[in-house]
A and B are shown apart, each in its own frame.
Chain A
Amino acid sequence: MNEQTTDVIQGTLDLLILKTLSLEPMHGFGIARRVEQVSRGVFKVNPGSLLTALQRLERAGWLDSAWRNTENSRRARFYNLTRSGRKQLELETADWTRRASAVARLLRQDA
């Protein structure tokens, strides 16, 4: 596990999780794989961090979770976005866009 990569993710992990879950309910590994695939391998998610973050988001009231049986009849925990989670996603997306474009402007200026 690369410490630096994790650090980068940590700041935005919540946003990535909320965004991923806005499409459909998923279990932990599903979220990790989706993030990895969509980011084309830039973000690798550590299971410890991810599962802890899921707990935190759930306690904040942005996620709901339920135990369901998967196709091969294993117990798995599925997460889905709540209404306040959706609001939070909008907030965080706006916030992120604002920051990212500010950083981008600064970088353009420098170049």
Chain B
Amino acid sequence: MSLWRHLTRGLRGLVRPGQQATDIDDEVQHYFEQATAAHRERGLSEAEARRAARLELGSPHTAQERVRSYGWENSVRILLSDLRFAARQLRRNPGFTVVSVLTLALGIGASTAIFSAIDPVLFRPLPYPHPGRILMVWSTWQGARSEIAFGTWRELSQRSRSFDSTAIFEPWQPAMTGATEPRRLDGQSVSPAFFRVLGIAPSLGRDFRSSDEGPHAPRVVILSDSLWRHLFAGDPAILGRAVRLDGDDYIVIGVMPRGFEDVLSPSTELWTPDTYDATRITREFNSWEWGNHLRMVARLRPGVTRASAIQELVAIARTPWLQYPRPRWASLDRGLIVDALQQDIAHTVRPALLAVFAAVIIVLAIACVNVVNLLLARGAQRSGEFAVRGALGASSRRILRQLVTESLLLSLLGGALGIVAAIAGVRAIVALSPAGMPRLDAIAFDPPAFLFAFALTVIIGLSAGVVPALHIAHSNLQSGLQHVSRRIAGTHLWTRRVLVVAEIALALVLLVSASLLLHSMRRLLAVNPGFRPSHLLTLQVVTSGHRFDNSAADPDGGDRIRRRFFEQALEAVRRVPGVENAAFTSLLPLSDDPPVVGQYGAQFEDQDSQSGYNVFRYAVSPGYCQTMGIPLLSGRLLDERDRAGAPQAALISASLARHHFGDRNPIGSRLHVGPRDRPWYTVVGVVGNVRQTSLAIDQEDAVYLSTEQTWFADDSLSFVIRARANAAALVPAVKSAIWSEDSEQPIVRVVTMDRLMAITEAQRRFVLILFEAFGLVALLLAAVGLYGVLSGSMAERTREIGVRMALGASRGDILTLALRDGMRLTAFGLMIGLCGALAASRGIASLLFGISALDPASWLSMLALLTAVAALACWVPAWRGASVDPATTLRAE
């Protein structure tokens, strides 16, 4: 009831301020008239009575003021008038306003954009029920995560008690035929509990059952919502229908919900149950069930902690049981790596993202410091105004309130513009982001990002207003009045100096980091990949269909057909005009071919059964090394002689030759690659090293075999095509040449080698671009800050300079004085910045390549750059100050 009255009366006062004011004035006036009348009744004259009433009651204006200031609507009224005043102030100083708003917009926009990018990856819980209970389980190889085998998963899932459910999954890329063009789909082959581990069920149809698993189960698929909509127009009658994948009919049993996100492999369009067979887990270890190519995900039982689950798994790994045999390559003697799903998917990008976030926070800090600096400068200019207000009765709280309103208005303008910038920035980040970036689809300008931006804006607005206000409160108002005549040199500059030192320090931290990254990138791009990447087109051909199946009657029949298809396709490609040379390989350098699939054990004749090398196995066509431009160092290359049935020939890489033979000649020595029960390969030549995984990784032991002489025919091969001119222009002709041999075989990953190299280094480039941008902004802002402080200081010292010059100081003396002042600030900033940069360079150490974190060139160049820019920023106001005519200044007093 009374709340209602407060609300309505207050609103009435706001809507009709005139009415309320008149009422109050009338009432007060009536009161005074009555008092006067009372005195008159006691016999005083009219004038005397009025005087007595005034004496007794004080000023009617004071009374009116008091009554008016009652009620919540009055605070609103003050706020509105403060806002009006602030807006007027900002309009009156367009230069100041534009610079501060743009600076704030830049800081808020950049940090909000980066926040939106990292929030879903690092902070926000994954879109599953109880996401904290989902764990990833990996085997360990060379200290890093590595895939596990079906046999290992069976042992872990049967022996452990910590999990509700566990699942394995691996990529499955079936070719869908029956449509106009054969199309390769991105799928996952999963164990039936996969979706139960994630905690999401299909929105249409049913989930996988254990009876769907295994080699003899009927073939079924679950589709993603987007595949269902694109290919089948969202038709609910799709359930029970068959789609033709790799020459087989698969029955659609379900469709996943629209918002479902498979963070484990974001591009997945469909899922099928795996076809592993538990009965083939034998002690011979020669079945697919013992290949290490599966990832494992598990959901904790409620109430079981992650730590105890990890403990249990580690204990299982350490104590093999007789009924669960383990081969040498799945012995788990190096232990397991177990990590929460969220950490696991982000572990490769986390250092880069944190570095970028730290960088953007530094930019934001510099932006805020600059705006505070501008506000302080303005506060100093306006000290006269505040003194007058104080003298007229404004309390210091009232002045503080007005100043904070002004800075809040400023930051709100900056924040609004910043949000616009952030929306554009988020798009740019998504476009720029490296291939391995998880949860890319979840990156958007969303409510958490908006909240982040809003919170930043308010915090900045409040703090940026309070600092100058405290300053004014400290220097008492009296001196402000005197200040108007500019006799006293500014003491308020002290705070601004500290702020400028901080700016320079922060800018140095960013610049040194950016410089280290830039030098790393240069080193990286200067790395010789081991082949000539220019004019090279690459594409992958995936064979699919039953005509390539080996049958019991003809165990090599399918392989023969597969090899013939690839050779005919290669011949067709070579005939395309503009093609200088072409070849194929099972493993394409610098591509996303998983390294673990291309690696095999190699053992030379003089090695015992326990030793050997992990080598990359390249099954290639004769002419591969010529096409790629991989140099022959000794012996001969593979050629037409190395056919099926001929003596088995192999090329080895220079690094493998050096590792095993040192200075001895490897030509003619014999080795096994892969299975030991096959004839020996004889080394016929040594070729140059090639970077396989990335330019940064020098893991180069490799063996090249002819596709006709390997122990199995690879079902997908990468074609490398050297063009006479523009490689990308050959794409349509090459595709139709391959499809002229068989139009049912999908062609994927069509990309030039130059582009492939850029993609490989995308993560570094992403971080580098952002750091360079932030570094430049920081440099600019720091220079502006320094310039502002020095200009202010020179303006305040005009009189001092005049006196000095009148007493005989030369212009050079004044210039030196001012420059020394500015450079002293710079030097302080650089010293503090060096400490910060030292810490920062440690933080980004994992992103560096080929240089130490203390690389002198990177450090010195940035120190020099910052010093030069600072000197320039000092020189301009110093020169202006020194150009003052002493007579003018002194006369002006």
Interface residues of A (CB under 8 A from B): 1, 27-30, 32-33, 44, 46-49, 51-52, 55-56, 58-61, 67, 74-77
Interface string of B1-40 (1 = CB under 8 A from A): 1100110010000000000000110111011111100100
Closest to A56 in B: B70
Inter-chain contacts of B397 with A (CB < 8 A): none
Inter-chain contacts of B70 with A (CB < 8 A): 52, 55-56
Cβ-neighbour of A59 out of B9, B33, B62, B66 (below 8 A)? B9
Cβ-neighbour of A55 out of B30, B56, B63, B71 (below 8 A)? B71
The answer to whether A49 and B66 touch across the interface, beta carbons within 8 angstroms, is yes
The answer to whether A75 and B62 touch across the interface, beta carbons within 8 angstroms, is no
**What's the nearest-Cβ distance from chain B to residue A62, in Å?**
9
Q: CA of A59 to CA of B11 in the docked complex: distance in angstroms?
A: 13
Closest to A76 in B: B30
Of all A-B residue pairs in the complex, the 7 with the closest CB atoms, nearest first, are A48-B66, A29-B34, A48-B63, A47-B63, A51-B67, A29-B31, A61-B2
Closest to A28 in B: B31
Q: CA of A48 to CA of B58 in the docked complex: distance in angstroms?
A: 9
Q: B57 on the interface (CB 8 Å rule)?
A: yes
The answer to whether B31 and A47 touch across the interface, beta carbons within 8 angstroms, is yes
Inter-chain contacts of B62 with A (CB < 8 A): 48
Inter-chain contacts of A56 with B (CB < 8 A): 70
**What's the nearest-Cβ distance from chain B to residue A81, in Å?**
15
User: What are 27 A-to-B residue pairs whose CB atoms are below 8 Å?
Assistant: A1-B57, A27-B31, A27-B34, A28-B27, A28-B30, A28-B31, A29-B34, A29-B35, A33-B38, A46-B63, A47-B32, A47-B57, A47-B60, A48-B58, A48-B63, A51-B27, A55-B67, A55-B70, A58-B9, A59-B2, A59-B5, A61-B1, A61-B2, A67-B23, A74-B30, A77-B26, A77-B30
Q: CA of A55 to CA of B9 in the docked complex: distance in angstroms?
A: 10
The answer to whether B2 and A51 touch across the interface, beta carbons within 8 angstroms, is no
The answer to whether B58 and A52 touch across the interface, beta carbons within 8 angstroms, is no
Q: CA of A56 to CA of B62 in the docked complex: distance in angstroms?
A: 18
New A-B pairs, 4, CB < 8 Å, besides A67-B23, A74-B30: A27-B34, A30-B34, A48-B66, A59-B2
The answer to whether B66 and A77 touch across the interface, beta carbons within 8 angstroms, is no
**What's the nearest-Cβ distance from chain B to residue A26, in Å?**
11
**What's the nearest-Cβ distance from chain B to residue A53, in Å?**
9
Inter-chain contacts of A60 with B (CB < 8 A): 2, 5
Inter-chain contacts of A30 with B (CB < 8 A): 34
The answer to whether A51 and B63 touch across the interface, beta carbons within 8 angstroms, is yes
Interface residues of B (CB under 8 A from A): 1-2, 5-6, 9, 23-24, 26-28, 30-35, 38, 56-58, 60, 62-63, 65-67, 70-71
Q: CA of A1 to CA of B6 in the docked complex: distance in angstroms?
A: 30
Q: CA of A74 to CA of B34 in the docked complex: distance in angstroms?
A: 11
**What's the nearest-Cβ distance from chain A to residue B24, in Å?**
8
The answer to whether A77 and B58 touch across the interface, beta carbons within 8 angstroms, is no
Inter-chain contacts of B30 with A (CB < 8 A): 27-29, 74-77
**What's the nearest-Cβ distance from chain A to residue B413, in Å?**
36
The answer to whether B5 and A74 touch across the interface, beta carbons within 8 angstroms, is no
Closest to A44 in B: B56
Inter-chain contacts of A51 with B (CB < 8 A): 24, 27-28, 31, 63, 66-67
The answer to whether B28 and A1 touch across the interface, beta carbons within 8 angstroms, is no
Inter-chain contacts of A29 with B (CB < 8 A): 30-31, 34-35, 38
Cβ-neighbour of A52 out of B1, B5, B23, B67 (below 8 A)? B67
Q: CA of A61 to CA of B2 in the docked complex: distance in angstroms?
A: 6
**What's the nearest-Cβ distance from chain B to residue A49, in Å?**
7
**What's the nearest-Cβ distance from chain A to residue B66, in Å?**
3
Inter-chain contacts of B38 with A (CB < 8 A): 29, 33
Cβ-neighbour of B67 out of A32, A48, A74 (below 8 A)? A48
The answer to whether A59 and B31 touch across the interface, beta carbons within 8 angstroms, is no
Closest to A51 in B: B67
Cβ-neighbour of A77 out of B2, B27, B57, B63 (below 8 A)? B27
Q: Which of A1, A48, A60 has the most CB of B within 10 A?
A: A48
The answer to whether B66 and A52 touch across the interface, beta carbons within 8 angstroms, is yes
Inter-chain contacts of A46 with B (CB < 8 A): 57-58, 63
Q: CA of A38 to CA of B67 in the docked complex: distance in angstroms?
A: 25
Q: CA of A48 to CA of B28 in the docked complex: distance in angstroms?
A: 8
Inter-chain contacts of B63 with A (CB < 8 A): 46-48, 51
**What's the nearest-Cβ distance from chain A to residue B22, in Å?**
10
Q: CA of A77 to CA of B109 in the docked complex: distance in angstroms?
A: 56
Inter-chain contacts of A47 with B (CB < 8 A): 28, 31-32, 57-58, 60, 63
The answer to whether A74 and B31 touch across the interface, beta carbons within 8 angstroms, is no
Closest to B24 in A: A51
Closest to A30 in B: B34
Cβ-neighbour of B58 out of A1, A61, A75 (below 8 A)? A1
Q: CA of A61 to CA of B665 in the docked complex: distance in angstroms?
A: 107
**What's the nearest-Cβ distance from chain B to residue A7, in Å?**
15
Q: CA of A15 to CA of B147 in the docked complex: distance in angstroms?
A: 83
**What's the nearest-Cβ distance from chain B to residue A2, in Å?**
11
Inter-chain contacts of B57 with A (CB < 8 A): 1, 46-47
Q: CA of A34 to CA of B34 in the docked complex: distance in angstroms?
A: 13
Closest to A61 in B: B2
